[in-house]
Chains A and B, each alone.
Chain A
Amino acid sequence: MPPTPPEPAAVLARPHTAELTGWGRTAPTASDVRRPTSATELQRALPNGSPRGLLARGLGRGYGDCAQNSGGTVVETTDVDAFTIHDADPASDTVLVTAEAGASIDRLLHALVPQGLFVPVTPGTRYVTVGGAIAADIHGKNHHRKGSWCQHVTSLHLQLADGEVVEIGPDRDPELFWATAGGMGLTGVVLDATFACPRIGSSRLLVDTDRAADLDEVLELMASGDHAYDYSVAWIDLMAGGRATGRSVLTRGRFATAEEAAPAAGPDPYAYSAGVLASAPPFVPDGLLNKLTVRAFNELWFRKAPVRRRDELQTIPTFFHPLDMVGGWNRIYGPQGFLQWQFVIPFGAEATLRRIIEELSASGCTSFLAVLKAFGEADPAPLSFPAPGWTLALDIPAGVRGLGPLLDRLDELVVAEGGRVYLAKDSRVRPELVPQMYPRLDEWRAVRNRVDPQRRIRSDLSRRLGL
């Protein structure tokens, strides 16, 4: 009989050495992992970090090494997750919520949606924490209208490397606030944040779907019509070549009013349930995803999408978080793991976007559906990823031969257009390119040097890229 595993809480309460990876499960490194259970305990971690520094980690959904700190301390914040929904004037468009760093969007939604509220921004997974949302300045399907997460933050408490706790916001030490937004956790440990949550009319979305036969068509649809929708994203089939290059399914929508939602939602317009329907098996052999299986999947997915559908009612999980229905889906890539490559290039660089998609399609990399979106305006944060233009995100198995040189080549195309890759997804970019991708890097470094001159806060990402 296998030995009974000890109670998880008992194990996690004390520091232990563990190997950590990002969501892509590549390049594991070992750290002294602590999981404080209260805000007080969380604050005690920083002054007691290891000589190789300390880093806060949320739910580990960053794809690469941004939430790892090899040989140092990693503080998992996920048990420090209390939050308060503040009273608000019923006539106001938004309601302020204060949440501790470890509160996840998943937990927030279970409390917010039944009260007619939503999060200001959600990525493709609800398993991200408030601290992580700030560190990566996350974006979602509404970026073209509402910008990224930190544009909705009114204030936050940050513990600096020397242990001091400061309250910052867009109007309170804005320099440090915007360096923290998208700062990959390197300016300090976020303890809690206050952000504005929008009201919604129901827990359903009214969704329009358009199937686009090629890249030109989907870009045209987005350029001409996105402004009429709160949320917009296209899923693009990168395995399709020739005339079908860039074929996509574009889904756009907005929250339905209570009346509009009634036929589907029943008596309670704010009914919300979100769960995991299935889990990926704990071990998947290499090569389950090969050219044949992925091509077949993408074909099926494209064909089953309607050519044009209007006003379909969808739930929040279906519209925003479809992958969350499969627990641990990152395991389907097998033990070698995978990486995600996400870049943005400015509007006007469509020819380069096409060339990148053609190169990816021709490389024969097995890539499931990639995500294409038009970003809106950037926020003032020097390391924030979103900028006006087209963003494409795709997953690729890490063991593919020649993948490193291929992506290096594509990075050059991105940089030549004044584009950049997303640090929260990165696991392999050439460090020399980072100052070109983020021309305000030195401005960010100046702020980081002010608050952490001794580099007490470090991550594997910061080591790899020399941030």
Chain B
Amino acid sequence: MRDAVGAVQSVLVLGGGSEIAQAIVDRLVGGRCRTVVLGARDITALSPVAARWQAAGATVDSFAFDALDPASHQAAVDAAFDAHGDIDMAIIAFGVLGDQATFDADPVAAADAARANYVGAVSASLAVASRFRTQGHGTLLVLSSVAGVRARADNYVYGSTKAGLDAFAQGLGDALVGTGSRVVVVRPGFVHGRMTEGMQPAPFATTPDKVADAVVAGLAKGREVIWAPAVLAPVFTVMRNLPRGVWRRVSAR
């Protein structure tokens, strides 16, 4: 169960390879969390983190999860819930950033990114939400991005998938009011990590650890949207309202 200060006892991560999700789980396991269930494309790559959490006293279980196969999502999520009892928190963490130039040349690759980031997240989130409704509680943490707040010329495929995901997550959160469950949308800025290796950082660049700290603080405070770093909330309020021409110049890299 989630407690009065936002700590949870069990977590399901879909996209277990995500560095941000792993940093969040590090903190959850440092608190009350004793059950970690990981769904990932390549579960063998997760053994080091799994060992770390086991050493900290958690039970860690993992299963193969394919974001691109929505038909498999409900069964995979059901199996995780059935095997571990109540899941207090689920993190939708899978997604690909991709490279806009590649997408421009390969529309199918772009569509695959959209299928993973948006379509897959929709089916996975709904699968979790139906179990949350049954158990009467649960927090769905959705990793969105500031890239979805306003699409940029140099990553609009990724940005648009996050825009769709963000809108979906907000709507789902509103639909879940009264069910004991809730959705928390996380909007990080540029995050240094595997996904962004070799890229030039954007202003207010952050790290998975800092994003995770912001998430834990936001959960304790009962936030529905968590910006990381927090300054991006006012920054993007301005960015969202800039005239197109100005935005094009500001966002050009």
Contact = CB atoms under 8 A, between A and B. Distances in A.
Contacts of A323: none
A407 B221 CA distance: 16
A18 B7 CA distance: 23
Given A336-B222, A399-B220, A26 B178 contact: no
A460 B137 CA distance: 10
A349 interface: no
Nearest to A461: B1
B221 to A, nearest CB: 5
A464 to B, nearest CB: 4
Interface string A335-349: 111010000000000
B86 A64 contact: no
B5 A463 contact: no
Given A65-B1, A403-B5, A460-B1, A29 B222 contact: no
A52 B4 contact: no
Interface in B206-252: 217, 220-222
Contact of A464 (B1, B134, B179): B1
B144 interface: no
B180 interface: yes
A102 interface: no
A243 interface: no
Contacts of B2: 27
Interface in B101-138: 133-137
Given A29-B137, A52-B135, A463-B86, A428 B4 contact: yes
Contacts of A142: none
**Interface centre among A29, A52, A65, by most B CB within 10 Å?**
A29
A401 interface: yes
A349 to B, nearest CB: 26
Contacts of A28: 137, 180
A70 B220 contact: no
**Interface centre among B86, B217, B222, by most A CB within 10 Å?**
B222
A398 B136 contact: no
Interface residues of A, number: 34
B3 interface: yes
B137 A70 contact: yes
Contacts of B152: none
Contacts of A430: 32
A31 B136 contact: yes
A19 interface: yes
A30 interface: yes
A71 B85 CA distance: 12
B31 interface: yes
B9 interface: yes
Nearest to A464: B1
Contacts of A253: none
A24 interface: yes
Top 6 A-B pairs ranked by shortest CB distance? A71-B136, A30-B180, A70-B136, A427-B4, A26-B4, A464-B1
Given A30-B137, A52-B135, 18 more contacts: A19-B178, A26-B3, A26-B5, A27-B4, A27-B137, A70-B1, A70-B136, A71-B137, A339-B5, A399-B222, A403-B220, A404-B5, A404-B7, A404-B31, A427-B4, A430-B32, A463-B86, A464-B9
28 contacts: A17-B178, A19-B178, A19-B179, A26-B3, A27-B1, A27-B2, A27-B3, A29-B136, A29-B137, A29-B180, A30-B178, A31-B136, A70-B137, A335-B222, A399-B220, A401-B217, A401-B220, A403-B220, A404-B6, A404-B220, A427-B4, A428-B3, A428-B4, A431-B9, A431-B32, A460-B1, A463-B1, A464-B9
